[in-house]
Amino acid sequence: MVLLKIDDLKVHYPIRGGVFKTISDYIRAVDGVSFELKEGETYGLVGESGSGKSTIGKAILKLINMTSGRIVFNGQDLSKFSFGQMKPFRQDIQMIFQDPYSSLNPRKRVADIIAEPLRNYQCLTVGEEKKCVQNYLDKVGLNPDSMYKYPHEFSGGQRQRIGIARALTLKPKLIIADEPVSALDVSVQAQVLNFLQDLQKEFKLTYLFIGHDLGVIRHMCDKIGVMYRGRLVEEGISEEIYENPQHIYTKRLIAAIPELNPERRAQKTELRKKIAKEYEQLYPEYFDEHGRAYDLKSISNTHRVAMP
Ligand SMILES: Nc1ncnc2c1ncn2[C@@H]1O[C@H](COP(=O)(O)OP(=O)(O)OP(=O)(O)O)[C@@H](O)[C@H]1O
């Protein structure tokens, strides 16, 4: 069964510009993206920084307003609802954020951080709430007695587990994991990824997994959608995308994965150079006069459209 269907989603952010510094332009952060996500599946959205991945996650939760398109979750068209009307659906859709250092309120104890969603949606007694928090701490592999500690008393990986526990308390159907391991040490990344897979089986979760590391995405996802400058340029079964990439940007992503085998390393470096050249020829407007690629987040000129 299809749990989430995104249909021709557009999110254009107004930006200030022009002589009078009024809002005159838009950044087409997401520009006509469609894909669907089946129950129990993990769908990976991959793409370079600024390609619009997080914007899709935020639009699903109505944290930002979409410009046009449809987002259908569990048979309900979310695009019709206001931020307030989304409340019942927020139980079913939770988000895990990229940075475990800034996504947890440093002034709140872990018990309050994890219990916050419960307090918004359920009326539990103090005892029930405590039991629930301890249960979820245990589920994410943390000591239940640590519920009275503050976030700074935990490591990055442990903090991400606290964020995961918070996301799980309302028993969601869909979890949007926005680069959940990119801020973590490589040694901790694998632990958290495997742990997310275990939770998926236990809680029958569906993941929309956002990332830019194709190695991680391949490990986690059944299907991959490759985002490029606000558009979905390629989509397919993970292995197929990996074995036979079609779009030049997907080829670049795959060529960027480090090669451990010393014999194949030289081959890969050559391939990387060849693809870089092909890319530059296809998109000369994305490079400066020295052949350096522009940073998408800082210029975004290619996203701009004049206001009608
Ligand atoms: N609130 C905002 N106002 C204006 N522009 C924004 C806003 N948020 C994002 N953008 C722009 O929209 C584009 C897409 O941003 P987004 O954060 O969705 O990309 P991303 O692929 O998730 O990047 P990253 O991997 O770095 O998180 C970028 O050009 C960004 O600068």
Q: In what order do the strands lie in the sheet with 304-306?
A: 76-77, 68-73, 2-17, 22-38, 304-306
What rounded mean pLDDT belongs to the chain?
84
Closest ligand 1 atom to Cα of 64:
1
Q: Does ligand 1 have an atom closer than 6 angstroms to the CB of 45?
A: no
Q: What is the pLDDT of residue 299?
A: 40
The residue that leads in pLDDT, 156 or 263, is 156
> What pLDDT, in 10s, does the model give residues 213-262?
888 888 899 999 999 889 999 999 998 988 888 888 888 888 887 777 88
Q: Which architecture characterizes domain 2-256 according to CATH?
A: 3-Layer(aba) Sandwich (3.40)
Query: Tokens 């050559």 appear where?
Result: 270
Q: How far is the CA of 167 from the centre of ligand 1 (A)?
A: 23
* Residues 94, 120: Cα–Cα separation, whole Å: 14
H/E stretch holding 306 reads: strand 304-306
Taking a C-beta distance cutoff of 8 angstroms, is the pair 162, 138 a contact?
A: no
pLDDT of 161 higher than 50: yes
Query: Is the distance from the beta carbon of residue 51 to the nearest atom of ligand 1 less than 6 Å?
Result: yes
| ipTM score of complex | 0.95
Lowest mean pLDDT across 88-102, 127-141, 202-216: 88-102
The pLDDT confidence band at residue 301, using thresholds 50, 70 and 90, is very low
**DSSP structural state of residue 300:** -
Q: What are the boundaries of each domain within the chain? A: 2-256, 257-287
What's the confidence (pLDDT) of residue 288? 65
Average pLDDT over residues 146-163: 90
User: Is 176's C-beta closer than 6 angstroms to any atom of ligand 1?
Assistant: no
Q: Which residues contact 35 (CB under 8 A, 6 or more apart)?
A: 6, 43, 225, 232, 235
Say what the pLDDT of residue 207 is: 96
d(CA 182, CA 179): 6
pTM over cut 0.80: yes
pLDDT value, residue 83: 80
3-state secondary structure 109-175: CHHHHHHHHHHHHCCCCHHHHHHHHHHHHHHCCCCHHHHHCCHHHCCHHHHHHHHHHHHHCCCCCEE
Closest residue (by CA) to atom 6 of ligand 1?
13
Decide: 151 and 106 in contact? Cβ < 8 Å: yes
Q: Ligand 1 within 6 A of 160 CB?
A: no
Across 93-112, average pLDDT: 88
Question: Helix, strand or coil for residue 199?
Answer: helix
Instruction: Out of 87-101, 141-155, 274-288, 292-306, pick the least confident.
Output: 292-306
